[in-house]
């Protein structure tokens, strides 16, 4: 054991490389620890193309930023050989502590990747004391590399949904693999239309997958997604997830409420009460609010009652039971809103559900759900909010991959 062994171990330095010196430069603020690495004289190095051991042709001095040593910035300097391979000519040899083209050590980059998963890039860059531009470059590299290794030849079931990219009317559509539990994001693309499905088809083929093998696709009731799936993945059974049905009616109830609130004043808290998730019985307070609304705002009350019936359908334990309940719901609700122009948003929602009845009921036949995607969407939106938005769709997509895609190992230097 000599004084450099601990740092050598930490950096993964092996012969012919060894640490030959370190100085603490106190003339700078913060102080800088400079570590010097050298290869033994006369060593041979593998050609980066064919791996054949070759002699050094010449050397170029390079410096990498390494993890801070306590409060001191730390730099590693080494004379990197260019080898002369009989077959491939003159090439710069690889070093074990950094990847080609980076000014940072792999350990530094790994620490940076851990930070950006937890906090906005600007904040992580401040902690690492590098520019956010440098940090983005590290993130882009590692995410791209991880995604380039993705193999989709096994893919059978997908779920897709759009997520807002923050700018007005700009969306990113995210695709997940239904058979992966965690880290199931496999693709994300700007937009929320048919072109997104087309782009996914091309990507799937690129990754060794086969569009005809896709047996299930879970999505919402948008025309663009459904017709896109029919065209690009003709073998897929289209399943509409229940959460999209609830979302549809939430939107309709809110539209009715907004319109009605212009004519009559509503009790405090109405907005949040009518938008609550239809996942449990109404609380006492909500019951009371509902009966007040029956008096002051009849349309909002009716729309809300219709939405609450969704829970009754969702609780059906069999596919037949659900079909029976859904049919009854549609008939009953249609009678309730009959000829009332102020309840048009609800009528529209009912028509949409009627049109996609079979796709909605498919959910009772299999276990697939895009609840997973719904949960992840929350993570993407939280990251976006913390970062106060992203410069463009590509940075948002990189963040989506970092949060939700299988990232593999950051640390391989090849």
Interacting residue ranges for Zn ion, rule: CB under 5 A:
47, 49-50, 85, 87-88
Taking the least distance from each CB to Zn ion, the nearer of 88 and 126 is 88
To the nearest whole angstrom, how small is the minimum distance from the Cβ of residue 16 to Zn ion? Answer: 18
Using DSSP bridges, classify how beta strands 72-85 and 89-92 pair: parallel, antiparallel or unpaired.
Answer: antiparallel
Phi, psi of 11 (to 5 degrees): -90, -10
To the nearest whole angstrom, how small is the minimum distance from the Cβ of residue 80 to Zn ion? Answer: 17
Taking the least distance from each CB to Zn ion, the nearer of 34 and 52 is 52
To the nearest whole angstrom, how small is the minimum distance from the Cβ of residue 108 to Zn ion? Answer: 29
Phi/psi-derived region of residue 103, left when phi > 0, alpha when psi is between -120 and 50, beta in every other case: alpha
Q: Which two tokens stand for residue 129?
A: 């004391």
To the nearest whole angstrom, how small is the minimum distance from the Cβ of residue 68 to Zn ion? Answer: 37
Beta pairing partners, 75: 34, 65
Contact between 307 and 300 under an 8 Å Cβ cutoff? The reply is: no
Taking the least distance from each CB to Zn ion, the nearer of 80 and 130 is 80
Closest CA to 108 of 135, 79, 78: 135
Taking the least distance from each CB to Zn ion, the nearer of 50 and 210 is 50
Closest CA to 301 of 245, 348, 257, 258: 257
Taking the least distance from each CB to Zn ion, the nearer of 87 and 339 is 87
To the nearest whole angstrom, how small is the minimum distance from the Cβ of residue 87 to Zn ion? Answer: 5
Select the residue whose beta carbon is closest to Zn ion and give its number.
47
To the nearest whole angstrom, how small is the minimum distance from the Cβ of residue 57 to Zn ion? Answer: 12
Taking the least distance from each CB to Zn ion, the nearer of 49 and 385 is 49
Taking the least distance from each CB to Zn ion, the nearer of 89 and 267 is 89
DSSP 109-166: HHHHHHHHHHS-HHHHHHHHTS-HHHHHHHHHHHHHHHHHT---TT--EEEEEEEE-S
To the nearest whole angstrom, how small is the minimum distance from the Cβ of residue 89 to Zn ion? Answer: 8
In this structure, the chain runs to a length of 414
- First vs last C-alpha separation in the chain: 30
To the nearest whole angstrom, how small is the minimum distance from the Cβ of residue 49 to Zn ion? Answer: 4
Taking the least distance from each CB to Zn ion, the nearer of 95 and 218 is 95
Phi, psi of 33 (to 5 degrees): -95, 120
Phi, psi of 346 (to 5 degrees): -70, -40
């Amino acid at each position: 054991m000599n004084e450099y062994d601990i740092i050598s171990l930490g950096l993964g330095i092996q012969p012919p490389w060894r640490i030959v010196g370190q100085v603490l430069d106190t003339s700078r603020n913060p102080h800088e620890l400079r570590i010097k690495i050298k290869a033994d004289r006369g060593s041979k190095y593998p050609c980066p193309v064919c791996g054949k051991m070759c002699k050094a042709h010449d050397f170029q001095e390079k410096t990498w930023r390494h993890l801070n040593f306590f409060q001191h910035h730390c730099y590693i300097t080494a004379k990197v050989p260019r080898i002369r391979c009989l077959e491939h000519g003159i090439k710069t040899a690889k070093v074990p502590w950094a990847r080609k083209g980076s000014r940072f050590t792999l350990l530094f980059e790994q620490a940076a990747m851990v930070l950006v998963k937890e906090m906005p890039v600007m904040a992580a860059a401040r902690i690492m004391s590098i520019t956010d531009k440098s940090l983005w470059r590290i993130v882009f590299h590692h995410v791209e590399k991880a995604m380039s290794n993705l193999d989709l030849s096994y893919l059978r079931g997908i779920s897709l949904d759009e997520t807002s990219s923050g700018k007005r009317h700009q969306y990113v559509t995210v695709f997940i693999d239904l058979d992966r539990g965690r880290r199931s994001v496999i693709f994300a693309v700007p937009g929320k239309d048919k072109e997104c499905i087309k782009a996914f088809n091309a990507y799937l083929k690129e990754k060794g997958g086969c569009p005809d093998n896709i047996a299930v696709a879970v999505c919402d009731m948008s025309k663009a997604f459904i017709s896109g799936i029919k065209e690009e993945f003709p073998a897929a059974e289209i399943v509409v997830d229940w959460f999209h049905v609830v979302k549809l009616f939430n939107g309709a109830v809110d539209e009715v409420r907004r319109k009605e609130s212009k004519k009559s004043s509503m009790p405090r808290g109405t907005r949040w009460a009518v938008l609550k998730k239809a996942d449990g019985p109404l609380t006492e307070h909500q019951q009371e609010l509902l009966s007040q609304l029956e008096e002051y705002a009849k349309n909002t009350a009716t729309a809300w009652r219709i939405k609450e019936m969704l829970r009754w359908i969702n609780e059906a334990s069999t596919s037949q039971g659900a079909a029976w309940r859904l049919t009854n719901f549609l008939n009953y609700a249609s009678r309730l809103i009959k000829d009332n122009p102020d309840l048009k948003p609800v009528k529209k929602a009912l028509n949409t559900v009627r049109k996609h009845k079979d796709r909605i009921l498919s959910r009772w036949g299999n276990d697939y759900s895009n609840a997973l995607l719904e949960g992840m969407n929350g993570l993407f939106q939280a990251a976006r909010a913390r970062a106060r938005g992203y410069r463009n769709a590509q940075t948002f997509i990189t963040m989506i991959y970092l949060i939700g895609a299988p990232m593999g190992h950051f640390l391989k230097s090849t």
